[in-house]
A and B are shown apart, each in its own frame.
Chain A
Amino acid sequence: MTAVGTEHRVIRVVVNGVPYEREVEARLLLSDFLRHDLGLTGTHVGCEHGVCGACTVLFDGEPVRSCLLLAVQADGHVIETVEGLAPSEAELHPLQRAFWEKHGLQCGYCTSGMLMVLKAFLAEHPNPTEEEIREAISGNLCRCTGYQNIVEAALYAAQLMRQS
């Protein structure tokens, strides 16, 4: 048999500020690379067809679906995942604090994607309305919360970030 898809490439990516150089199979998904090659399992995979948003990471600062990208496409780029969100071990990001405070998560599976989308959104919209937040997270499915407390958390996070 021919070894389909077994071509390998060396890629260099910066993930959460840490540079990595890895040889990867050309067909390896970015989500699988982050989770299983780098062990950053905080990025979750829900559908692998780009709808649920659970696997959202920041790619040069922009939210992307890591299940719709190949690892080789990240060569030379900067990735941020949920593991890099908190400023330190002892301190949470305002979004994380707000989600905790407002009960913005239940099973936690969609949470990483929600946090990463909102990080990018709040950077551009420091004073959002509820409607704007709902639209911002409309590419991220949550099956537990009914979104209400996620919206509350996002509003509260925006307030915390404005204050600091």
Chain B
Amino acid sequence: MPTRIFGEPIKRAEDPRLLTGRGRYTDDIDLPGQLHVAFLRSPLAHARIRSIDVSAARDMPGVVAVWTYADIGPCQRRMPLLIPHPDLTHPYTRYALAKDEVNHVGEPVAMVIAESRYLAEDAVEAIVVEWEELPPVVDIERAVQPDAPLVHEELGTNVAAHYVGIVGDPEGAFSRAAHVFRERLIIERSAGMPIETRAIVAVWNDVEGVLEVWDTTQAPIVIRNALAALFGLAPTQVRVVAPDVGGGFGCKIMVYPEEVLVPYAALALRRPIKWTEDRLEHFVGTNHERLQIHDAEIAVDAEGRILGIRDRFLHDAGAYTPYGIIVPIITACQLPGPYKVPNYHVEFRAVYSNTVPVSPYRGAGRPHAAFVMERLLDRVADELGLDRAEVRRRNFIQPHEFPYDVGLIFQDGAPTRYDSGNYPGMLDLLLQQMDYDRLVREELPRLRAEGRCVGVGIACYVEGTGIGPYEGATVRVEPTGQVYVATGMPQQGQAHKTVLAQIVAEELQVPVESVQVFEGDTAHFQFGSGTYASRSAVVCGSAVALAARKVREQGLQLAAEELEVAVEDLVVEDGRVYVRGAPERGFTWAQLAQLANPLRYAYAGDLVVRPRPWTGPTLPPGKQPTLEATEYYSPPHATWASGAVGLLVEVDIETGQLFFRKLWVVHDCGKMINPMVVEGQVHGGIAQGIGGAFYEKLYYDENGQLLNASFMDFLIPTAMEIPRMEVAHQETPSPLNPLGVKGVGEAGAIPMPAVVAAAVEDALRPFGVRITRMPLDPDQLWRMTHPESP
């Protein structure tokens, strides 16, 4: 019997290094002769630069260079627009160092390069800038008014994009509806906040003639190709490595100013250069996400079945749009969730403000979408006197209705088409897990009778995962027995080295420890994009599977030739290929790799060399001297994961504090490669979702100053706040890819604002409040429960 490796909770290959302090994160890399960078960043949200005087800074001890826009050579070009969109009619990107205007607090203005970071920061203090303050634009509702000041004067508008998506006949649906309910729903600004900030080390390797860059990026190939083009180098003259990366959550995929400036300094000064972001810089220099203001309405029939939805929303783009309008597009496409919405009008404006730019953060527009949809359904249930679970049941897309077209074009340019799922089954499993009937009929009334303010909520969601364009992988069996796997995708903790090895080990039936995965290094793999959009397992995993299957075929073919049997008579088991029923007639994979190569290298190999009669070239045309394949996988469109979550909360009326008492999750990401890893991803997403529902909010004042740019004031939940999570799995395999898998990276984060709102609203029923804004905080809850107080 073949050994089952795919689907097993195998311990991670990554861990021994990381647990013993032998990981190598970017800031861990110190090179001889290395110089250090510190940036002067704008203290103002909106201003013109009248002059910059760097002379005092240049004279400081240990300072090698102080650069402003005038000094940065090829980096003087505008930063790239990474993802254009036809509706992004007014895109705007920055300069790597501000040219004559700054548009948010934290924008890089000047760059000091010195013998130590301490000295570089001393010199930053000595730079003198004369500013001409311009009116800051912070409130996006104000920003769209005709007389509002402009973030970018030359655009003539603060609206970067105006998108309209229409499915069916929304107007007709609303005119014939039994009920129409409207809500204004707001989800506030937040950010990914990985514990490792961004960092870059760059060196011109004069021996190889290669620019070497270590970067905390989620997309090293994207950075490599950008640097090559910018500096006029061949792509092979630039090597970008994402080594161990301490969390990403979306904010580390970009081409940031520092990512071109630090490598440029290495080229210009011919010294190794390091820059590591400090936490304050991260708060104001690394992209944010989340703020959207929705005016949504739902039309239902008398039984609570959805006839149509209309949603108009404002999306805060921040000061620039380097990542296009991906986030609000995802919101628009995913808003219907697992429900049938036959008639749908969605419209958004992406609006500039003098704040940190917005790009995807775990969830990437989906938590907003789920918040709006689930809030609307809760409203329908409450108004019609239906159980909140029952309303969902009445509106689910049914298992026989796949593939199901939502009717809009998704972020990848393909149709928003759900490939598979079982949403009623998912909810049933959740309710069973929660013991929902008993909870609602017995437990809650009992607790409330004791005077406790408790409530329960449920929320369902879908997640478009595993988008293209493509990823690739090389799989090679080495004559020493190891299996080499290379991909272009880096990881930030998602266990690629383990799960990709499991895929290969399953195909070749070799021990998982013998498979070594190399990732995130352009010297190993040169094509692909990166780790984002919950796509690694789906897109890269599929490429790895295809390559491993090809290597398996090569091994079978070679063994068949050597053993003079038919391929059909061979089995692959226990790390060997052998004749069925005669295990002694066969080869290990290492031996097959040796056989494939007519050369014999010193010490390598355990096969007795057999002299062969001359028949022509040693390596005949069409043959390769290795068992090796490179394959690419390009999905036809996204594959759709789904989930449902239930939450029991308690509100302390006296303090406004919120307690997460119980949390249940059902998650469906198709076939699981490693359920332990899947569960870890779900846990982490939920914890971030809880952060975004009660703790984490970035507060800008009217001058565009970020008021809580520290971990003292931006509250990431600790182990005391995050409750125990009970996770159950449903598996509806994807029919789209060779593994049947769907992505899981962002899952947990998506439903949390929705389910927290539902549960809190349920708890506060005696006060008759509706929860329409996320995140909540103790102050808001206290006010809701003390309406008479000032």
Binding site for B on A (CB under 8 A): 1, 3-6, 25, 27-28, 35-36, 39-49, 51-52, 54, 81-83, 85-86, 92, 96, 99-101, 103, 105-112, 115, 133-135, 137-151
Contact = CB atoms under 8 A, between A and B. Distances in A.
Given A40-B21, A86-B20, A107 B245 contact: yes
Given A42-B23, A52-B716, A106-B495, 10 more contacts: A42-B22, A49-B710, A92-B16, A99-B19, A107-B196, A107-B493, A145-B680, A145-B684, A146-B687, A147-B683
Nearest to B19: A96
B454 interface: no
A100 B10 CA distance: 10
Contacts of A115: 19
A151 B680 contact: no
Contacts of A39: 30
B719 interface: yes
A27 B20 CA distance: 28
A128 B731 CA distance: 36
Interface in B18-57: 18-25, 27-28, 30, 56
Contacts of A42: 20-23
Contacts of B278: 48
A45 to B, nearest CB: 7
| Chain B contact residues, majority secondary structure | loop
A143 B244 contact: no
Contact of A141 (B24, B249, B710, B718): B718
Contact of A108 (B11, B60, B493, B710): B493
Contact of A148 (B28, B193, B722): B722
Interface string B240-268: 00001111010000000000000000000
Contacts of A48: 278-279
Interface of B: 11-12, 14-16, 18-25, 27-28, 30, 56, 59-61, 118, 122, 126, 192-197, 244-247, 249, 278-279, 492-495, 676-677, 679-680, 683-688, 710-712, 716, 718-720, 722, 724-725, 748
Contact of A142 (B15, B118, B195): B195
14 contacts: A1-B61, A6-B61, A25-B118, A44-B196, A86-B20, A96-B20, A99-B15, A105-B18, A108-B493, A110-B246, A144-B684, A146-B687, A146-B722, A149-B680
A6 B115 CA distance: 13
List the 5 closest A-B pairs by CB distance, nearest first.
Answer: A42-B21, A109-B246, A107-B493, A108-B18, A146-B687
Given A42-B23, A112-B21, A143 B118 contact: no
A151 B748 CA distance: 19
A103 B677 contact: yes
Nearest to B690: A146
A150 B719 contact: yes
Contacts, number: 179
A161 to B, nearest CB: 16
Contacts of B18: 105, 108, 111
Nearest to A25: B118
Nearest to B14: A108
Contact of A146 (B60, B193, B725): B725
B561 to A, nearest CB: 43
B21 A103 contact: no
Contact of A143 (B25, B194, B245): B194
A25 B122 CA distance: 14
Nearest to B710: A49
Contacts of A149: 680, 683
A4 B126 CA distance: 12
Contacts of B195: 44, 46, 52, 54, 107, 109-110, 141-143
Contacts of A151: 719
B711 A51 contact: yes
B719 A138 contact: yes
B537 to A, nearest CB: 14
Contact of B15 (A28, A100, A140): A100
Contact of B720 (A44, A112, A135, A145): A135
> A3, A96, A107 — which one has the most chain B CB atoms within 10 A of its CB?
A107
A97 B138 CA distance: 49
Given A103-B676, A150-B719, A143 B249 contact: yes
A109 B126 CA distance: 34
A46 B279 contact: yes
Contact of B118 (A27, A41, A100): A27
Nearest to A36: B30
B189 to A, nearest CB: 18
A44 B25 contact: yes
Nearest to B193: A143
> B22, B195, B683 — which one has the most chain A CB atoms within 10 A of its CB?
B195
A73 to B, nearest CB: 17
Contact of B19 (A40, A44, A81, A92): A92
Contacts of B194: 107, 109, 143
A103 B12 contact: yes
Contacts of A133: 719
A1 B683 contact: no
Given A44-B246, A103-B12, A109 B683 contact: no
Contacts of A101: 11
Given A138-B720, A143-B249, A145-B684, A3 B23 contact: no
A1 B59 contact: yes
> A46, A49, A54, A101 — which one has the most chain B CB atoms within 10 A of its CB?
A46
Contacts of A105: 15, 18-19, 493
Contact of A109 (B22, B196, B249, B687): B196
B494 A106 contact: yes
A109 B249 CA distance: 14
> A52, A101, A103, A110 — which one has the most chain B CB atoms within 10 A of its CB?
A103
A141 B182 CA distance: 39
B528 to A, nearest CB: 21
A148 B683 contact: yes
A45 B277 CA distance: 11
B15 A148 contact: no
Contact of B247 (A1, A81, A82, A143): A143
Contact of A106 (B28, B493, B688): B493
